[in-house]
Amino acid sequence: MKEKKRIGILTSGGDCPGLNAAIRGVTRAAYEMFDAEIIGIHDGYRGLIEGDYSVMTREQFSGILTLGGTILGTARTPFRNMLKVGEDNVDKVAAMKKTYKDLRLDCLVTLGGNGTHKTANLLSKEGLNVIGLPKTIDNDIYGTDFTFGFHTAVDIATEVIDRIHTTAASHGRTMVVEIMGNKAGWLTLYAGVAGGADVILLPEIPYEIERVARVIEKRAENSKGFTIVAVAEGAMNTEEAKMRKKEREQKRAAEHYSASADVARKLSDMVGVEARAVVPGHIQRGGSPSAYDRVLSTQFGAHAAELIRKGIYGVTVALKGNTITHNALKDIAGVPKPVPLDDQMVTTARMMGISLGD
CB contact at 8 A, 198 and 168: no
19 near 300, Cβ under 8 Å?
A: no
Known catalytic residue: 138?
yes
d(CA 97, CA 104): 11
Whose CA is closest to 226, among 163, 160, 172? 172
Burial class (CB in 10 A: 0-12, 13-18, 19+), 190: buried
Q: Are 187 and 179 in contact (CB under 8 A)?
A: yes
Question: With contact defined as beta carbons under 8 Å apart, do 147 and 136 qualify?
Answer: yes
Sheet-wide strand order for 323-328: 53-56, 35-41, 4-11, 107-112, 130-134, 315-320, 323-328
Contact 280/260 with Cβ under 8 angstroms? no
Residue 185 and residue 89: Cα distance in Å, rounded?
A: 38
Selection from 88, 44, 49, 285 nearest residue 180 by Cα: 285
Pick the catalytic residue: 138, 198, 262, 293? Answer: 138
Give rounded-to-5 percent helix, strand, coil for the chain.
45, 20, 35
- Three-class SS state of 7: strand
The residues annotated as belonging to the active site are 138
